Amino acid sequence: MLRSDDMKLLIMTDYNYPTDNPYLEEIIVKNLPLRGYKLNLIMKSKKRIISWTEDYWNHTLIYLIPGGLIGQLFYFKKIRRIASECDIIQVRNDIPLGLIAIFLSRSLKKPFVFRYSHLKADTLVLEAGENVFRYFNLKFYKGTLGKFLTRIILRNAQWIFTISDAMKEHLVEDGIDSEKMIPVTSGTDLSIISKKIDSSNIIEKFQLKNHMVLCYVGTMNRIRNLDFLIEIIEKLKNEFPVKLLMVGEGKRKEDLNHLKNLTKQKDLEEYIIFTGKVPRSEVPKYISAADICVSSLPPNKVFRTSSPLKLMEYMSMGKPIVCNNENVEQRNIISKNQAGMCVKYDVGEFVKAIEYLNENPGIAKEMGIRGKKYIQENRSYEILADKVEKEYFNILSLVECENR
């Protein structure tokens, strides 16, 4: 009989350490060790290192590799030795590590799980543009190669943890076996719900009192077309006092600068506030200061299949949501619990939804209550950790049966 305290996991990820990624921090590093799992994490370091380095994250030993692909190949023997002592090899998104995991899985006869949370290669192709100039953009070729190599990994992984049901459906259309795919979605920290969040300093600092406050939390990348939200504010500012909190930063400085420049060009600086990067522990204060939270995801393949973490954060704070229905995860969640309004990806439709909630605060409040209840019952990190643990046991049980 398998027990969690007998299980050793090798987790290799595309994130650089240190990271505040919620899935890694809350489920892998926090929840699983509490259940008795023995973890080995292999990551790259944000700091410059010149050799294999050991560190600890929440009492879990992690191995840091220098130099990206070169470091991964140089320290292959060490990676193989660690893998040989583990029951499951899991990789998150990283293509070189995924290819290494295929080899390790076959040579060591260990099950290989690929955690696929984002269409990274497709994103690069999308960022290269859709006109003839994309053929002069290195991102187009990196993305095209990445798509080819990712397909090899997906076909050779024994199991795939997708970020959403929509991603699973997308991969099935792409010829990947549905039987080996298990959706493991986004979640949130329930301790936020029980805490009293004081946002008075945010309200005072940004002069939010007596305004309808909208909030967007997330990366300010150009590919997300956040000009969309600026256009919404341009229309709403003549209807009632409104302000938009844009919480986050761009991966590239020029992406955030583009939004700031557009805001200035449209003379909207008094209505739109760019906070810059905010520690994850501070994000609830900004959400708490808002009346309505927004999630606008462009209707392309990359964002249709995503599982927006911001939606979980908004609902855990009891905020009504306005989002677009082209993202399957958003559409399904809002249709199940009526925690907000899910409309077409259109500036006019978003404006109408926000105006409706502004005119009907009682309905907006009920939406927020329903959203918080949904999170408590379905999307806590503990519930997601239960699901991950169940799948690990299922995987090893199947492996044992095959080996008999």
pLDDT of residue 4: 63
pLDDT digit string, tens, across residues 86-107:
999 999 999 999 999 999 999 9
pLDDT of residue 3: 59
Residues 215, 197 share a domain: yes
Rounded CA gap, 32 and 50, in Å? 30
Backbone dihedral region for residue 92 (phi beyond 0: left; psi -120 to 50: alpha; all else: beta): beta
Residues 142, 219 share a domain: no
Rounded CA gap, 113 and 103, in Å? 13
Q: Which of 113, 92, 71, 112 is nearest to 25 (CA)?
A: 92
Question: Which of the residue ranges 80-84, 278-282, 342-346 would you say has the lowest mean pLDDT?
Answer: 278-282
Question: Which of the residue ranges 26-40, 163-177, 180-194, 294-308 would you say has the lowest mean pLDDT?
Answer: 180-194
Residue that the structure tokens 């986050």 belong to: 248
Three-state DSSP class for 275? strand
pLDDT digit string, tens, across residues 150-193:
999 999 999 999 999 999 999 999 999 999 999 999 888 888 77
pLDDT at 2 over 60: no
Rounded CA gap, 32 and 30, in Å? 6
Residues 231, 90 share a domain: no
Contact 55, 67 (CB under 8 A): no
> What is the CATH number for 161?
3.40.50.2000
Residue that the structure tokens 């990820």 belong to: 13
* Dihedral (CA of 209, 274, 321, 384) sign: negative
Residues 344, 397 share a domain: no
pLDDT of residue 278: 93
* Dihedral (CA of 121, 127, 130, 135) sign: negative
Residues 154, 52 share a domain: yes
Find the mean pLDDT for residues 368-395: 93
Burial class (CB in 10 A: 0-12, 13-18, 19+), 98: buried
pLDDT at 387 over 80: yes
pLDDT of residue 131: 66
pLDDT digit string, tens, across residues 211-254:
999 999 999 999 999 999 999 999 999 999 999 999 999 888 89
User: Would you give the distance in Å from CA 186 to the centre of its chain?
Assistant: 7
- Domain with 106, as residue range(s), is 4-187+381-403
Centre a 10 Å sphere on the Cβ of residue 210 and count the other Cβ atoms it contains. Answer: 6
Residues 220, 113 share a domain: no
User: Would you give the distance in Å from CA 94 to the centre of its chain?
Assistant: 15
List the Cα angle 165/167/171 in 5-degree steps.
Answer: 115
Residues 147, 269 share a domain: no
Residues 156, 32 share a domain: yes
Contact 121, 96 (CB under 8 A): no
pLDDT of residue 21: 85
- The total of structural domains in the chain comes to 2
Burial class (CB in 10 A: 0-12, 13-18, 19+), 80: middle
Residues 230, 333 share a domain: yes
Average pLDDT taken over every residue of the chain: 92
pLDDT at 206 over 60: yes
Residues 276, 201 share a domain: yes
Q: Which residues contact 394 (CB under 8 A, 6 or more apart)?
A: none
Residues 195, 173 share a domain: no
Residues 275, 394 share a domain: no
What strands, in cross-sheet order, belong to the sheet with 60-65?
Answer: 53-57, 60-65, 38-45, 8-17, 88-92, 112-116, 159-162, 181-183
Angle separating helix axes 95-108 and 138-156, nearest 10 degrees: 20
pLDDT digit string, tens, across residues 137-157:
899 999 999 999 999 999 999
List the Cα angle 142/126/138 in 5-degree steps.
Answer: 30
